[in-house]
Amino acid sequence: MGIAEWRAQLRRGEVSARELTETHLKRIAAVDPTIHAYLEVTAERARSDADRIDAARAAGTDLPPLAGIPLAIKDNLCTLGIRTTCSSRMLESFVPPYESTVTGRLWEAGAVLLGKTNLDEFAMGSSTETSAFGPSRNPWDPERVPGGSSGGSAAAVAAGECMAALGSDTGGSIRQPASFCGVVGLKPTYGRVSRWGLVAFASSLDQVGPFTTSVADAAEILQAIAGADPRDATCLKLPVPDYSAALHQPVKGLRVGLIRECFEQPGLDPAVKASVLAAAARLEALGCELVDVSCPRFDDGIATYYVIAPSEASANLARYDGVKYGFRAQTSEGGDSLATMTARSRAEGFGAEVQRRILIGTYALSAGYVDAFYRKAQQVRTLIRRDFDRAFEAVDVLLTPTSPTTAFRFGAHTNDPLAMYLADLLTIPVNLAGLPALSLPCGFDAEGLPIGLQLITGVLQEERLLQVAHAYEQDAQVMASRPAAELVA
204 is catalytic: no
| Catalytic site residue from 168, 173, 311, 403 | 173
Q: Cα torsion for 167, 80, 7, 466, to the nearest 10°?
A: -30
| Catalytic site residue from 74, 88, 187, 244 | 74
| Catalytic site residue from 16, 100, 136, 149 | 149
Closest CA to 39 of 68, 70, 82: 82
Whole-angstrom distance, CA of residue 287 vs CA of residue 326:
55
The Cα-based distances of 293 to 255, 257, 260, 301, 391 in angstroms read: 11, 6, 6, 17, 6
Strand 112-117 relative to strand 38-41, pairing: antiparallel
Whole-angstrom distance, CA of residue 195 vs CA of residue 198:
5
149 is catalytic: yes
74 is catalytic: yes
Whole-angstrom distance, CA of residue 252 vs CA of residue 260:
23
Whole-angstrom distance, CA of residue 23 vs CA of residue 10:
14
The residues carrying an active-site annotation are: 74, 149, 173
